[in-house]
Structure 1
Amino acid sequence: MDISFLRREFGDRFIEDKVVASLYIRDASFIEVSQSIIGVVFPEDEEEVVELVRWAVRNKTPLFPQGCATSLSGNAIATTPGLVVSFERMAKVEIDPIDGVAVAGPGVKLEELNIELARHGLFFPVDPGSVKSATVGGAIANGAGGMRGAKYGTMKDWVLGLRVVTGRGDTLKLGCRTYKCRNGYDLVRLFVGSEGTLGLVTEATLKLAPIPESATAVLAYYNDVETLVEDVVKVRANRVWPLFAEFLDAPTSALVGLEEKNALFLGVDVNTGAEERLLKKLRELIRGEIAQEAAGWEAAMKLLEPRRKLFYGQITAARGGVLVIEDIAVPISKLPDAVRGLKAVAAKHGVPLLLGGHVGDGNLHPATWYRREEGPAKVEKFIKDMAELVAKLNGTISAEHGVGILKKELARAELGETTLSYMRELKKLFDPYNILNPGKIF
């Protein structure tokens, strides 16, 4: 393999040191990686990405694109001795408040983007739990969702256009800069959530929204999760569209500094002056014990902070064990059934269970763990039964974390071989040499 090109073209932006490179071969999932890689390269513009892909084709070398590696399904892991492509230096952003768009490089962090947008009274609504470190490119590859998904949806709803470099070394301009765009097949949505297997994103045109004037929020405690979930369904049925509806079960609540009760974080964006009216309505609808109320945008976001510690609470509970965080979604009306079913499946197989997630859009994150000396057999049985439960409820085994490595078998069962065969053909079209993030999804 000729790596002189990398040394010559990238200089100190190509890291060969094995110790440093080893920091880039894994993501936030529990998957352990032992193999070494060629190194890590840090392109600064699209032209360099094109040349990098063409080099990879010539040398038959896999490329593993990476943002900040916060993925929980193994889709940012280097699975074979290849080259990690870190996009952290492609972080330019252009904001057009009149058109209501931002043109961002893949390395732009979502939180930093929103800091800049706030100067214009705008924001980018997609709000994953890892928002402080998640990048635009990573969120696109993963099809990220998050805490404001109840109102604003996921990345597929907010990406207007893309520039990508395919596995052929071609540059494609997809979508538009306009809100309305019907210029052939919707390839933008094909790439959103493709986990870096079809092309490398070099630029994204993102749709923006005005920051709501104000918001109201409550933190309510419940003795049982079923009642909590039923209240979220009831709030929606009463024509209140939550900005966020998040929850932590009692053990997790205690781990993040709250009372050891099931906690519901419910927020609604409102016009200034309507805060008390909405709070009154929430008091009437919610059967839980309201422990805290917030009026105003900043106060509502602050109230949500303990929910952002879900991942850290789950790590604490596992106490060095192998933590497995799942990512399922069911129709909102089926959430009570899902909660009851998950608890029953966990009890059946004798595995620990922590529950939390985005109940406002039907997305749950069941977490369990096992000790290495005991092995994963019980957890694997739990996951199998969990997938069967989700299928019966017309749900999905991957709402926002992607398929990656961890969910390939679950995706096969959910999609079926015929659908997967079409996906494989698409992969061959855009990446005929199988150099882009191989080993993921299929």
Structure 2
Amino acid sequence: MDLGWLRRRFGDRFVEDGAVAALYVRDASFMEFSRSAIGVVFPEEEEEVVELVRWAVENRTPLFPQGCATSLSGNAAATAPGLVVSFERMAKVEVDPVDGVAVVGPGVKLEELNLALARYGLFFPVDPGSVKSATVGGAIANGAGGMRGAKYGTMKDWVLGLRVVTGRGDVLRLGCRTYKCRNGYDLVRLFVGSEGTLGLITEATLKLAPVPESAAAVLAYYRDVETLVEDVVRVRASRVWPLFAEFLDAPTSALVGLEEKNALFIGVDVNAGAEEKVINKLRGLLRGEVALEAAGWEASMRLLEPRRRLFYGQIKAAGGGVLVIEDVAVPISKLPDAVRGLKAAAARHGVPLLLGGHVGDGNIHPATWYRREEGPARVENFIRDMAELVAKLGGTISAEHGIGVLKRELAKAELGEAALSYMRELKRLFDPYNVLNPGKVLPG
């Protein structure tokens, strides 16, 4: 392995210090790996990424792309001796408010992007819980969703074009700068959610939206989760299209500073002056106890702050145990069945369970944990039952967290061998030497 070239080409942007590299070998999934990276490199230009891939091919060395490592599936972790490629220095932002697009580097954080867009009255709607640290490149690679998914969807709905470097060292310009684009096979959608296994993103052209004029939101408490999710279905059936519909179960609510009750955060974007009318309509539809109201865009976003602390509340509850945060989605009409089934499975296997998530688009994040001395057997049995449950309800085992390492076997059961065989052929086409994030997504 020729490390001398890395030292000459990148200078102090190639870090070999083991203590520094150790900070980059894992992500937020709480996975533990005995292997360590040979170092971390910080490219600043696309040509450097091309050279890195060609070096990796020549030296048969894995490259593990990384933004801010907020992944919960293991797809941003270095799972074998290789080189971590951190894109944090590729952070350009170019905004065209007339065309309604932003051309950005993969290292731009989503929150920083929205700060740059605010002066134009625009925003990028995708809003994961880790929005303050998640990068554009990581969100694209992961196919991220988030709290505004009920109205605005996920990354696949907002990426117009990409520049990527494949595992062959080729640069591909994909998609368009225009909102309408039919220039062949839709390879942009292939790369959104590919988890860095097919190519390394060096630039993204994103579609933007105007910041809504205003919003109205409420926080309501419920005695049981089933009634809460049934009310979300009721709201949607009443021709109200929520901007967000988020929930926390009672134990989790207490962990993030709310009352120990099941909490529903529901908001609607509105024209200025319509806030009270919408709040009153929500009050009439919701059977829970409305505890807080928010009128206005900023106030409605602040109402969500306890929900954004979900991850930290789950860490607190685990108390040093190994935290496992799951990510499933079912049709919205099946949410009550999903909640009942998850609670029954947790009780059946004797595992703790915290529930929260994006009920506005059918996405639930069950969280459980185990003590290292006890081992993961009961949690693994719960996850198997969870996968069977969501399959029966017409759902999926990964809505927005990706497959990574943790869900490869579950994906195998959901997709079937025929679909996986096509995916393996795609991997061989774009990355014939298996140097890009090897061991992720596809089961062995």
Q: What's the TM-score, normalizing by structure 2?
A: 0.99
Q: Percent sequence identity over matched residues?
A: 85
Matching residue of 1:258: 258
Matching residue of 1:59: 59
Q: Which one-letter code corresponds to 2:18 in the other structure?
A: K
1:123 CA displacement: 0.1
Q: Which one-letter code corresponds to 2:241 in the other structure?
A: W
1:228 equivalent to 2:223? Answer no
Question: CA separation in 2, counterparts of 1:319 and 1:150?
Answer: 32
Question: CA separation in 1, counterparts of 2:427 and 2:371?
Answer: 37
Question: CA separation in 1, counterparts of 2:441 and 2:298?
Answer: 39
Aligned CA RMSD, in angstroms, stands at: 0.4
Question: CA separation in 1, counterparts of 2:78 and 2:148?
Answer: 31
1:127 equivalent to 2:127? Answer yes
Matching residue of 1:90: 90
Aligned length: 442
Matching residue of 1:378: 378
1:326 CA displacement: 0.2
1:190 equivalent to 2:218? Answer no
1:239 CA displacement: 0.3
Question: CA separation in 2, counterparts of 1:86 and 1:200?
Answer: 11
Matching residue of 2:167: 167
1:34 CA displacement: 1.9
1:309 equivalent to 2:309? Answer yes
SS in 2 for 1:53: helix
Matching residue of 2:209: 209
> Which one is further off, 33-42 or 393-402?
33-42
1:185 CA displacement: 0.3
Matching residue of 2:14: 14
Q: Deviations over 1:131-185 (max 9, x none)?
A: 0000000000000000000000000000000000000000000000000000000
Matching residue of 2:114: 114
Question: CA separation in 2, counterparts of 1:54 and 1:328?
Answer: 37
Question: CA separation in 1, counterparts of 2:386 and 2:79?
Answer: 27
SS in 2 for 1:219: strand
Question: CA separation in 2, counterparts of 1:306 and 1:136?
Answer: 24
Kindly report which structure 2 residues correspond to 1:151-166, keeping only aligned pairs within 5 A, or say none. Answer: 151-166=151-166
Question: CA separation in 1, counterparts of 2:257 and 2:77?
Answer: 32
Question: CA separation in 2, counterparts of 1:377 and 1:58?
Answer: 41
Question: CA separation in 1, counterparts of 2:4 and 2:178?
Answer: 42
Question: CA separation in 1, counterparts of 2:38 and 2:296?
Answer: 50
1:186 CA displacement: 0.3
1:417 equivalent to 2:444? Answer no
1:389 equivalent to 2:384? Answer no
Matching residue of 1:287: 287
Q: Which one-letter code corresponds to 2:400 in the other structure?
A: E
1:343 equivalent to 2:343? Answer yes
SS in 1 for 2:65: strand
1:38 CA displacement: 1.1
Question: CA separation in 2, counterparts of 1:37 and 1:263?
Answer: 42
Q: Deviations over 1:60-80 (max 9, x none)?
A: 010000000000000001011
Q: Which one-letter code corresponds to 1:384 in the other structure?
A: R
Q: Which one-letter code corresponds to 1:436 in the other structure?
A: L
1:44 CA displacement: 0.2
Question: CA separation in 1, counterparts of 2:107 and 2:118?
Answer: 19
Question: CA separation in 2, counterparts of 1:421 and 1:35?
Answer: 29
Question: CA separation in 2, counterparts of 1:37 and 1:304?
Answer: 38
Matching residue of 1:437: 437
Question: CA separation in 1, counterparts of 2:414 and 2:37?
Answer: 33
Question: CA separation in 2, counterparts of 1:192 and 1:37?
Answer: 26
Q: Deviations over 1:359-406 (max 9, x none)?
A: 000000000000000000000000000000000000000000000000
Q: Which one-letter code corresponds to 1:360 in the other structure?
A: G
Matching residue of 1:176: 176
Matching residue of 1:239: 239
